[in-house]
Structure 1
């Protein structure tokens, strides 16, 4: 990192919890801060967020994220003598074109692609614009092999790198606590496959023995969607709001469901497996890259019948020796391959290229 004296993290992020995203950047900043000035730029709406991770050691700037104003904020924090890395998160890739004049031989742009890239008529046009008009001094990072593949197709393999996301294991508690609760995250009701989970449990042998806990930012919307389909909310369904104490959610469940229809990278699958939950996940791009984690049940996309059979199997195998061995092996594997330190070291290697 001797090449650069400043790193600016541009983060269009204002969630009500810091999560693995802020934890990862904080860990990276700690590794850089000894000889590098660290600046975080967040949206103005993030001012009110009381995140559980302390960033007070670094300069925090709040900005309007409309491109013209955001660029002014970035420029304002770069001195003429600086050699800067501008690392962008959750912003449009087309912003890179407008940032071209900030990128010369001494500065580097790093664009982090966190979400899946939409495959439509705009994709090749966007790729052509980025190849032709954005600076050549850009590195693109994909958070999963699926996202990385799309990036390579869009902007060319030579400028793309793969760094799989990390999880903050310090905020999780590993447990062998047994109960009858099944957990699913359901703010994106259809996308996360909540409808499939309800149907699978409704038609299962254990509908009267379990509770499906749906965690969502919008409780009333989830209620509305369930009632539209079933005329009522099934007795086994419990809907609750989100929590900053993610560990408690996993701790109070024996099984986590991720029958998603689309994913870029599933933090929650990794977190749940690490926490000691059995996990059922759909075999889809962006999520099936986690197949090396021991013990996860994999089902076909949109297959409520397979989901039902796996839920029943997980319920009846809670105390099996093989299940417990798989849970322990999953914890060890995740600690080794998805740690914050491993992620940070890979990012620093990219900075040093």
Structure 2
């Protein structure tokens, strides 16, 4: 018996591995693998970090009181219903630890965020994966049918990672109206800032109507703070209290807290950067459509190419073109929308890919 099998629970030993986007070793290679923004740190964020760096001998505010107050004002939501965490992924983990009992079931769309199955299994639960539709969207009717007496939670990811497809407000409202109130629903809105379609989800309106809903947001994506790790949950006070009770003490560091406050106060620049990425996304999507490539309609800062068994070949051609992308086994490849040159190289890789397909 290996030593690790002596120390850890079997379900921990069996956890699937989270695969991060590859970091290029050559500075000339453009990273399009992790859905990061291409912009430098927001000036106000950089200044806030520098200003707080001299007090790191002190523990951070355990409840991120000042940041929570700013978030409450920004969202017009009560302080008691806001919980800050070490990135939204940590909040997903804590939420599942709090609500899942041994072998409790968690209904989730699949494929979706790779951390979900890991967090479910680590919490001692069983993931009930409901396949996406052919368009890369949630099968909400199928998710409702997957609910059983053992269901302890439901995960919803909109826009969905890695397909980029978003749920409409009408669809989600109808879905929530059919979920039993005793089953909590976690809505992961990590990419909500990139949604510009009609009937966009108004999660705060849904929160007011459904006490079993919890909404997650992050500073990692549109705010460009992936390296700081800060996310937050919006919920009713009783739901937030349970999440707060299981939180890691001092789990959000002092620099992340002040950086998030500064980012929240930089809305004009953040919106300008988001608009720039949306313009690039739409430009690339139009070019793909003109060339006959069939990809899901993305409402995020990435595109999904469902190339199946050819995914590895396409990943290699992307590397040859000077970009790193994120391959999901033999299912598909996700490519971040970032700087224009990255898009140029993506189109070059697709041209090479099509040429190879013709030769086969």
Which structure: larger Rg?
Answer: 1
- Note whether the superposition's TM-score is higher than 0.5: no
Q: TM-score, normalised by structure 2?
A: 0.29
- The answer to which structure, 1 or 2, has the higher relative contact order (CA under 8 A, 6+ apart) is 2
Q: TM-score, normalised by structure 1?
A: 0.30
